[in-house]
Structure 1
Amino acid sequence: MENNRKRVLIACDSSATLLGFRGKLIAELVKTNEVHVFTPKIYLTSVADQLKALQVTVHENTLNGSNVSIFSDLKYIFQLYKLIQTLKPEIFFPYTFKPVIYGTAIAKICKVNHITPMLTGLGYNFSPQGVKHGLVSHITRFLLKWSLLPSKRLSIIFQNPDDCKTLLRAGVINKQHHTFIVNGSGVDLSAYRYSRPKTRNISFLMISRLINAKGVKEFYEAAKLVQQKFPEIKFKLLGSYDENIDAIDQELYASIKSGKVVEYLGSVDDVRPYIKAASVLVLPSYYGEGVPRCMLEGMAMGRAIITCDSVGCRETINPSDVQPNGFLVPVKNISALASKMEYYIRHTKDILIYGLNGRKFARQKFDVNLINAAMLKIMHLN
């Protein structure tokens, strides 16, 4: 078995989500492989301790995945090139835009045997909402096409079929590419356990960074509409407000923080207690998701959901009429969003039924063990 051990290098743009999104995959990889992670600085001691316990070798950098900085990006490229040259990994697994774009190109130059970039959503770069960020989107598209030029050593992983089709239509990839689709990052059903949702004292929870394309304003405005009829209903928003090209404006942020319409919970390390306290999860996003993690976590814990009929989000709604688990609403349609919220308020039994159906759907399609088995196969590790 020792002779079959391979050196795997993972590159990401955020240490905060490394274990939440990839922890179970890393745990599988370390069983039979030598695993290294190239990540922005780890500030959470719990993350550093868990990686150490898993015997993962950590290499830190100063990348800021959300900001545009030529100097920072060049520094990152140089650091990653030196690391790959030194480690000589057999498998390179980058995910999110900057690690995918820069890392894939560098791994090709360094002749890494298996390069398996994962695109965890296309964000603004291939959507109509990306027009206002036109120059950045144009550069991103060009760099992505250049980085992903076909190679026998390259396998591209998508989290939904729409993203693959979008890149085909845009000419970024073609039929010569080896492409694979997995169902998001998956969810650990043993960690996100079912709990019975409250059908009295109903509350709606949104988990998201405070950026426009996640639908923060739509959630806030829909909450105002619902509270005109049902003033007792609670609305809660959990997520960080930080520097981002699409951060919500200060006026909306101030309104949210006032607590008059929505209770703002800020950023937390563990969302499970907040999901447990919620009746329904809401994500009116048109961001260009892979598959939104918060929806999978809510479904796993037995929560009915409302989300947008947009890329990635639509994957979380069971198309079966027999076992519905939630609703899709049109993008930016505040009245439709409010209407579906009102449906749950008027049909409280469906909060329970849809929640149970969501748990079943998560087990069938999004179980992290199913996702990881597919990932290991793509990486030539099983």
Structure 2
Amino acid sequence: MYNYRKRVLIACDSSRTLMGFRGKLIEELVKNNEVHVFTPKITQQEVCDKLKALNVVVHENHLNGSNVSILSDLRYISKLYQLIRSIKPDVFFPYTFKPVIYGTVIAKFCKVNCITPMLTGLGYNFTSHGNKKSLVSTITRNLLKWSLLSNPHLRIIFQNIDDYHKLVETGIIGKRHKAFVVNGSGVDLDHYDYSIPDTVNINFLMISRLINAKGIREFYEAAKLVRQRYTNIRFKLIGAYDDNIDSINKELYADIKSEQVIEYLGEVTDVRPYIKQASILVLPSYYGEGVPRCMLEGMAMGRALITCDSVGCRETVDPSEIKPNGFLIPIKNIDALVSKMEHYINNIQDILIYGLNGRNFAKQKFDVNLVNAEMLKIMELN
């Protein structure tokens, strides 16, 4: 009997996420389907090679997901419309805001049978951080409501329950919508394998783009205070300083690069060696995450956490008091961050215990195989 191979079209706003965040899902999809990706230009040869090896058909564009450019967005819309009309996908899977907003509308117009937009966090769009960002957020919210208008072929995917409730509360979606919540992007527990954290040379690692809402300043200021009391403690920061509406100011960036307080490692292609060297992972974010990838990677490798009691971040800390794997602190609270850092410094056994608990929590909740099984069901590909 002939098995029809469905066509799946994936749309994203950054080629860096294709294999890093969606690699295992793509591997599952290509087993029984013809997979296409619509992505900004791929600059990493390793990503090109992996997609080619998987027989994924790549269609490139010039989208800049972080900036507002009407002309660029119109070109993107036109190219995506032509692509969907050409390949006629059975399943359209966009993730991140611009692909979700523009792609969902186009896919509805083109009568794609299964449209599964994934919201990987709401970012700034439901908070207020200055007039310019508020204006952009207002426009984004209105466009999102328009694009997610109820449709029998639409199946919306969230990475945390808070984002679902927020869109319901604000009237962007309603009871008629088909909505699903999965546990983030999942984490490959074989790729990010456990290692014993360093409790002799204690160091705190933060992995993040250098934008304000990720808590870069809070990490920097907390590091300054801790190092005044514990001169042997080290702090490391991994992440790109890119063109973003909320990038940290040049003065803070210069202070970070001076490496007088923290060791700045820039952007790296593989975070595993750095997590292996780390004792604790820190992410004082109030950005509006889906589920932060760096926290999942840290948990998988057995690292204790400090993060904020904020959307997405709170998902990574086990709420049970029986097997704690980290601490949740209030947003923008440097004193609380310092306090939890000092807890680990003065209770080194918790670095080990919380790390093991985190690895087990990742197995139970965030195993990428479990998450991808749910994704295939939502896409009606199981």
TM-score normalised over the length of structure 2: 0.99
Where does structure 2 lack aligned partners over 5 or more consecutive residues? Answer: none
1: distance between equivalents of 2:50 and 2:318?
A: 34
Is 1:19 matched up with 2:23? Answer: no
Cα shift at 1:379:
0.2
Aligned 8 A contact 1:7 1:36 in 2: yes
Q: Which residue in the other structure is 2:334 paired with? A: 334
Whether the 8 Å contact between 2:128 and 2:134 is mirrored in structure 1 is no
Q: Distance in 1 between matches of 2:4 and 2:132?
A: 49
Do the aligned partners of 2:209 and 2:241 also contact (CA within 8 Å) in 1?
yes
Aligned twin of 2:309:
309
Alpha-carbon offset, residue 5 of structure 1: 1.1
**Deviation at 1:135?**
1.1
Match status 1:135 vs 2:135? yes
For the residue of structure 1 that corresponds to 2:355, the secondary structure is helix
Match of 2:373 in 1: 373
Quick one: distance in 2 between partners of 1:68 and 1:129?
A: 17
Which whole-Å CA distance do the structure 1 matches of 2:251 and 2:356 have between them? 38
For the residues of structure 1 that align with 2:334 and 2:285, how far apart are their CA atoms? 12
**C-alpha RMSD over aligned residues:** 0.8
Does structure 2 retain, via aligned residues, the 8 Å contact 1:124–1:130? no
| 2:208 alignment counterpart | 208
Q: CA deviation at 1:129?
A: 3.2
The residue type paired with residue 329 of structure 1 is: I
Instruction: Give the structure 2 partner of residue 198 of structure 1.
Output: 198
Report the 3-state secondary structure (helix = DSSP H, G, I; strand = E; otherwise coil) of the residue aligned with 1:358: helix
Instruction: Indicate yes or no: 2:178 matched with 1:173.
Output: no
Maintained 8 Å contact 1:295/1:316: yes
Structure 1 stretches lacking a partner, 5+ long: none
What letter matches 1:376 in structure 2? L
Provide the rounded CA distance (Å) in 1 between the counterparts of 2:243 and 2:8: 32
Which residue of structure 2 lines up, in the alignment, with residue 50 of structure 1? 50
Q: 1:331 offset after TM fit, Å?
A: 0.2
Q: CA deviation at 1:63?
A: 0.3
Q: Give 1:128 deviation, angstroms.
A: 3.4
What's the secondary structure of 2:274's corresponding residue?
Answer: helix
Q: Quick one: distance in 1 between partners of 2:305 and 2:137?
A: 31
- Whole-Å separation in 2 of the counterparts to 1:203 and 1:105: 47
Give the match's secondary structure for 1:260: coil
Matched, 1:347 2:338: no
The aligned residue for residue 77 of structure 1 is: 77
What's 2:163 paired with?
A: 163
- Equivalent pairs counted in the alignment come to 382
2:259 aligned with 1:259, yes or no? yes
- In the TM superposition, residue 273 of structure 1 has moved relative to its aligned partner by 0.3
Task: Find the aligned partners of 2:63 and 2:40 in 1 and give their Cα distance.
Answer: 6
Q: Distance in 1 between matches of 2:264 and 2:334?
A: 20
TM superposition shift of 1:228: 1.0
SS at match of 1:289: coil
Whichever residue aligns with residue 234 of structure 1, its letter is R
Conservation of the 8 A alpha-carbon contact between 1:7 and 1:33: yes
Q: Secondary structure, in 3 states, of the residue corresponding to 1:39? A: strand
Distance across 2 between alignment mates of 1:214 and 1:72: 27
**Distance in 2 separating the partners of 1:142 and 1:130:** 18
**Matched residue SS, 1:129:** coil
Give 2:144's aligned residue. 144
Distance in 2, Cα, partners of 1:334 & 1:4:
56
In 2, Cα distance between the equivalents of 1:243 and 1:71?
Answer: 18
In the alignment, which residue of structure 2 is the partner of 1:277? Answer: 277
Superposed structure 1 runs of 4+ greater than 2 Å apart: 1-4, 128-132
Aligned to 2:232: 232
- Deviation of 1:131 (Å): 5.5
- The CA distance in 2 between the partners of 1:128 and 1:183, in whole Å, is 26
Mapped partners of 1:215, 1:282: distance in 2:
10
- CA distance in 2 between counterparts of 1:204 and 1:215 reads 14
Letter in 2 for 1:12: C
Letter in 2 for 1:364: Q
**How many Å separate the matches in 1 of 2:347 and 2:324?**
14
User: Matches of 1:109 and 1:92 in 2, distance apart?
Assistant: 12
- For residues 9 and 164 of structure 1, what CA distance do their matches in structure 2 show? 24
Q: Give yes or no for the alignment of 1:322 onto 2:322.
A: yes
d(CA) in 2 for partners of 1:83 and 1:251? 44
Cα pair 1:130 1:137 within 8 Å, conserved: no
AA in 1 matched with 2:139 = I
Cα drift, residue 16 of structure 1: 1.1
Distance in 2 of aligned mates of 1:132 and 1:365: 38
Shift of 1:4: 2.8
